[in-house]
Amino acid sequence: MLRVLLTALWFAVAVPALVPGLDYYLTPLQERPFVETHELFASSALLGHGYGVVGTLLILVGVVSYSLRKRVRALSRLGKLKPWLEVHIFLCTLGPFLVLLHTTGRIGGIVSIAFWSMTLVVASGVFGRYVYARIPKTLQGAFLSREALEREHRGSVAALRNRFGLDEASVEHLLRKVRPASPGGPVHALLLALRWDLRRGGARRELALALAETGASALDRSELAGLLHEEGRRELQMALLQPFQRLFRYWHVFHLPLAMVMALILAVHVTVVVLFGYAWIF
């Protein structure tokens, strides 16, 4: 629910910010000073400069708040980590979008280094979110162990057999329809996860055909399909657990230093702008 709300809010801010200046952003650079809206949307103009200021503040709030929530134990009382991560992603994607509007597509010098650093940080953040979401966690946000997943798996298989009166061979036959392959390394694991997401509809259809052969009622087939799909997701988590934890460690090595480089260059840019007297409305 929170993700849907934040997505709607993202577009509610981004679209009104983009649309009024779209003609200006599409105007060739050399012609922009002669366009009537130049006084509003240029990087040093009221709205253009404002996009840069607001975008930078959103990034700072998103980074600092999430970092403090992760590292300061006393803040654990302020809710689970997952909602904080969702807000972090919201602020740290909306902020760069506004900064992009602030540049009006003119990217050069030290600004280009800050911009491409920001772009890489956002892209790596999306990748990190994808990997993080597929590592099973406890309610407190700690990563689950393989042993805990295997216990859940055994309990789930036993429940399937007891609930629907299936023998071990039948359960194994159905599970093969949703069982992922074993990954050969982090990159192969990532490809397996993407394949699972992309062919989810096809896997459900294959499972429905296999369930039709069991002679179960439509209601039982629907319930069984949901349980089997959930079990397939759990087996995918077990298969991806170690390679994705490794990927997540690699991601930290890349994402955090890049974010610090972006912050440093951004601080230099802001300092230079202020020294040259571009103080926006202040």
* Per-residue pLDDT of the chain in tens (282 residues, 90 and over written 9): 788 899 999 999 999 999 999 999 888 888 888 888 888 898 888 888 889 889 989 988 988 888 888 888 777 788 887 888 889 889 988 998 998 898 887 776 666 666 777 788 888 888 887 887 777 765 555 666 777 777 777 777 777 777 777 777 777 777 776 676 777 777 788 887 887 777 766 666 666 666 666 666 666 667 777 777 777 777 777 777 778 878 878 877 777 777 777 778 777 777 777 776 666 655
Please report whether residue 282 resides in a domain.
no
Task: Let me know whether 152 and 137 are in one domain.
Answer: no
Spatial CA neighbour of 50 closest among 280, 267, 282:
280
Task: Let me know whether 93 and 220 are in one domain.
Answer: no
Task: Let me know whether 16 and 115 are in one domain.
Answer: yes
Please report whether residue 32 resides in a domain.
no
Task: Let me know whether 122 and 198 are in one domain.
Answer: no
Nearest-5° angle of CA 218, CA 220, CA 221? 60
State the residue range of the domain holding 61.
Answer: 2-25+38-141+254-275
Please report whether residue 281 resides in a domain.
no
* Total residues found in the chain within this entry: 282
Model's pTM, two decimal places? 0.68
Q: pLDDT of 138-190, one tens digit each?
A: 555 566 677 777 777 777 777 777 777 777 777 777 777 667 677 777 778 88
Residue with tokens 């926006």: 280
Query: Chain centroid to CA 238: how far?
Result: 21
Q: What are phi and psi of 35, to 5 degrees?
A: -85, 140
Residues 6 or more apart in contact with residue 249 via CB below 8 angstroms: none
